[in-house]
Structure 1
């Protein structure tokens, strides 16, 4: 330390070695010791040489590390109780390698020096502190490779940050769980549990939207009504378990067929409704014929007798050019086409036209 009573002939201290000072007489009397000035810095820091020996450690760093003031000078920085990283990966080693590389190869790509890095340190009381380390090289001194290593105790800040991140993660999980619960609830409300198709309530909600979109965009909109032929006979002869299996098989077939093409709803009992945005009557009829053929090749095994049950469907098709004024009328027209398909012998497709429009049907026609 440089004291007011320094004798110029005395052995040079660390400051005179570091800066190569030959102290002139006018510096013999110094009103304030430089070491005391450095100790007043609120930020902790070391000054180390090229072998990472500690030349100076101010009072703040001693308090952070829990080491008595004056006990760090002369020790190796690597000998302190760092809890993470091998010595060669510690920031002061990386900084020294970078500085030397830049001096020998100034055109090389430098590694960032001076960036703050976090390290874990264990104090003598076994408590751990998270320290933010910044390394800076000092050039132009009599001792080569001297570095200043500033240390900030980030334990409280990082703990708070970690707690906030944990809180945010829990909030995100809670929101995701709430979203998942809402989605499950939505499915319970809008999806038919037996067939996996949307239910009648969902059609009531979506139908008006589809109609409005078609009206706004002047785009085609078709509707199909499906009915499983002789379904009551299946229930009566083979039991409701077999009837449910028939519904599941038909529903699965329809969902696969209309995936990314239309919206399929279980309308009630053995009836299904399909809405086809952007498809006119001819296109919808072509699709309906393919679906009818596909279903006719389904084979369902009876749950009681293991007999193979052949399934067919009757289909009614209409589009909004038929004169419907709203979605309800469109569905009603498709339903009349379905009645006509039943009257015509089942397992067929009927599109809306004057004959269907003028026909009168009874429930027994099904």
Structure 2
């Protein structure tokens, strides 16, 4: 707000007068009526106390009280009065004195007076008198009369000065202070020139400025600069006080018409005007018309804005295209390709920082029935609503994917297993509460986390998928965590496989016996000793595996043992067939055969279970977690632990060109000595029991002249028979056993024919799983003995007790 010169001068004069009166009062030139009142009250209290003392000397307390009553009635400003003895008791009091006096003393009131009462015997007590305080309210600073005086001075002096100053300043012409030659020089300028004083009033203006604003020079003189309709974002009237404009370069000011439209745009340069003492007196301003330039600039800005809008539109279009390329159009969830890209990024972050990461698989129960019964349009609606619920239930950091068909996958970074399970349960309940016109839905959910040992994103997703399988097998409409799933659970991957297309599993057909035979023949051709070693190790491994595994897994372990040295086909003959001990460099080359063997098996059979047995069979049971050995203990596949023991035992008891095999007892002692560090201690004891039961017995009953075709045919039939027993299919088992019996009789293998006949006689289409497993083991033993006879080995299976169903409630996977 702008304050005029008249107001400022008037305020200064009035303030000076008020200050003079207050100063005079403070030094005593003007009497203070409050002080006089206090002095008079003190004298009055002394007089009253003298009269009261006279009455007290006469022992006339009653008369003293009447005297106090009379005194109180004569003084309107008296509040209370009391006569107190030296012991503190009041002899008389007027006006509830005791309570009022205590409060006044606490508040340090200036109206309290105390006068001692003297008698001939000494001090009798004291007289307490309380008046209205004089230093209170506005009288605390100045007395009431002084306030009245100040009010009169302010009104009278202020009014007189205001009227007089307005008359005086009205006749002053600031333009006369500027010489005429200066005004003429300013008129010759091409720019509009204005000089304003401290009040922003125009004291000088040239003709160019007057023409630009459309006014006469004389009309502009004495008016405020801001009375002209300006618009500026850089300077405004509120800033027009002394020194506010100062020095400016290129400041933009717009001249407006009566309707607020811009007429002219000026570039303003300003500089302060100072007197001889350097004091600020005003501002000289130069106005340059830049309207054409600004209009061109505005047009350029409009063009840039159009370009910006076009860029924004392109960006938004690209975002839409990206959204369409990464989203499933039906459910608005991301597609599978984008899901795995983001999964990989989150996985790397978890590995680097250790933050929690969980994955969830969601499968709508009986979705095919919905499509078949209510049509695909209703199925699409179910999928759409399911996707909507998943997106609403999960957080913004979670990744929701339509994995395929009625399956969804959810990635939850930053959540531990408990929190992820809670989210899964919330989703399950939400889906079950969905209402469709003629039906409701449920879902099975599986949850896994990075902390549960997954080696990569696909492995972690497979864990959640395994949980999904368990949920469906247990009745559906439930949430299963991977840490609650038995480690020995076997999943039928052919029904619920969700692996990437590039990956394969052991689902579907098992390991072809013909392919195993072909690879073993190639290895035996290179090195007959290695082939014989593989045959013996497979027999040991199969006998031990029968104690704890299902027939199907025993078959996989046996095939893994047969092919565990297949990588030696890539070892040079000079090293592989060397009669003496190998050098350190030769051992390094020899150790490469494990990696070569794993690659051969992986590409030949696409069976992670078989590959894992060979890959991990050199891992130490009590090893430490490191780059060379990422798992240990029971995390090593059980098939690999079995192979480790069988391979080590045969290596110790077999003869080599450069050494003789150690005695069986010493080999057993060596196994036990390294149990818990190199070998699984439980499996070692089982293996020792098998060996001590008489594993090395001569073979006298089998002919060594069976043709390759016979061996291959029987091996393939036994392979299918084992699968039937493992799945509990009694009908198929009996059919395959009958076919095996016919093959054995035709090929003149009486021992195998007898075993097959016995299996047919004791089993039926409704045979129990325990009986099928037992008979499958008998046929495996007979077939294995025949194979060993064919290769000239001396290992036959002893009579051992077969495992009961109690021992294999859910067959342990050899992984």
Flag whether TM exceeds 0.5 (same fold). yes
Could you give the per-residue CA deviations for residues 30-68 of structure 1, whole angstroms, max 9, x where no partner exists? xxx76675455453324689998896525x658x8499x
- The answer for the alignment partner of 1:165 in structure 2 is 301
- The answer for the alignment partner of 1:317 in structure 2 is 447
1:66–1:260 distance in 2 versus 1, CA, 3 Å: closer
Distance across 2 between alignment mates of 1:259 and 1:61: 66
Of 188, 191, 199, the match for 1:43: 191
How far did 1:200 drift?
Answer: 1.1
Query: Is 1:278 aligned with 2:414?
Result: yes
Question: Aligned runs of 1:101-250 on 2, under 5 Å?
Answer: 112=245, 116-120=251-255, 128-133=263-268, 148-250=284-386
How far did 1:17 drift?
Answer: 4.1
- The answer for the alignment partner of 1:106 in structure 2 is none
How far did 1:111 drift?
Answer: 5.4
Distance across 2 between alignment mates of 1:35 and 1:203: 81
- The answer for the alignment partner of 1:326 in structure 2 is 456
- The answer for the alignment partner of 1:255 in structure 2 is 391
Of 299, 313, 329, the match for 2:435: 299
Partner SS for 2:486: helix
| Contact 1:229/1:346, CA 8 A, preserved across alignment | yes
Higher strand proportion: 1
Q: Tell me, which stretches of 5 or more residues in structure 1 are unaligned?
A: 1-13, 22-32, 80-84, 100-109, 302-306
- The answer for the alignment partner of 1:57 in structure 2 is 206
- The structure with the larger Rg is 2
Of 424, 432, 454, the match for 1:288: 424
1:283–1:15 distance in 2 versus 1, CA, 3 Å: closer
Determine which structure has greater relative contact order: mean sequence separation of CA pairs < 8 Å that are 6+ residues apart, divided by chain length. 1
Of 486, 494, 519, the match for 1:355: 486
Question: Aligned runs of 1:89-108 on 2, under 5 Å?
Answer: 94=237, 98=241
| Contact 2:446/2:467, CA 8 A, preserved across alignment | yes
Distance across 2 between alignment mates of 1:78 and 1:174: 52
Partner SS for 2:436: strand
1:51–1:281 distance in 2 versus 1, CA, 3 Å: closer
| Contact 1:119/1:133, CA 8 A, preserved across alignment | no
Distance across 1 between alignment mates of 2:239 and 2:450: 78
Could you give the per-residue CA deviations for residues 44-93 of structure 1, whole angstroms, max 9, x where no partner exists? 324689998896525x658x8499xxx965454799xxxxx964768999
Distance across 2 between alignment mates of 1:157 and 1:75: 30
Partner SS for 1:194: coil
| Contact 1:95/1:113, CA 8 A, preserved across alignment | no
How far did 1:361 drift?
Answer: 0.6
- The answer for the alignment partner of 1:341 in structure 2 is 471
- The answer for the alignment partner of 1:19 in structure 2 is 178
Distance across 1 between alignment mates of 2:318 and 2:200: 62
Distance across 2 between alignment mates of 1:317 and 1:16: 91
Q: Compute the TM-score of the two structures, normalised by the length of structure 2.
A: 0.33
| Contact 2:200/2:240, CA 8 A, preserved across alignment | no
| Contact 2:203/2:222, CA 8 A, preserved across alignment | no
| Contact 1:53/1:74, CA 8 A, preserved across alignment | no
| Contact 1:245/1:300, CA 8 A, preserved across alignment | no
Partner SS for 1:187: helix
| Contact 1:225/1:315, CA 8 A, preserved across alignment | yes
Could you give the per-residue CA deviations for residues 72-130 of structure 1, whole angstroms, max 9, x where no partner exists? 65454799xxxxx964768999599846xxxxxxxxxx7546764512378xxxx9532
1:188–1:242 distance in 2 versus 1, CA, 3 Å: same
Q: Compute the TM-score of the two structures, normalised by the length of structure 1.
A: 0.68
How far did 1:324 drift?
Answer: 1.9
1:222–1:97 distance in 2 versus 1, CA, 3 Å: closer
Distance across 2 between alignment mates of 1:34 and 1:174: 55
Could you give the per-residue CA deviations for residues 220-268 of structure 1, whole angstroms, max 9, x where no partner exists? 2111110000000001100111111111221111111112362211111
Distance across 1 between alignment mates of 2:401 and 2:358: 14
Could you give the per-residue CA deviations for residues 117-172 of structure 1, whole angstroms, max 9, x where no partner exists? 512378xxxx95322356778687xxxx9975421112234224323432332233
Could you give the per-residue CA deviations for residues 270-320 of structure 1, whole angstroms, max 9, x where no partner exists? 10001111223333233322321222121122xxxxx2x111001111112
Distance across 2 between alignment mates of 1:167 and 1:320: 54
| Contact 1:130/1:153, CA 8 A, preserved across alignment | yes
Task: Report how many residues are paired.
Answer: 310
| Contact 2:245/2:270, CA 8 A, preserved across alignment | no
How far did 1:335 drift?
Answer: 1.5
Of 269, 273, 278, the match for 2:405: 269
Could you give the per-residue CA deviations for residues 158-190 of structure 1, whole angstroms, max 9, x where no partner exists? 224323432332233223222211211111011
| Contact 2:231/2:255, CA 8 A, preserved across alignment | no
Could you give the per-residue CA deviations for residues 189-237 of structure 1, whole angstroms, max 9, x where no partner exists? 1122211222212202201001001100112211111000000000110
Partner SS for 1:156: helix
Aligned CA RMSD, in angstroms, stands at: 4.2
Distance across 2 between alignment mates of 1:135 and 1:209: 60
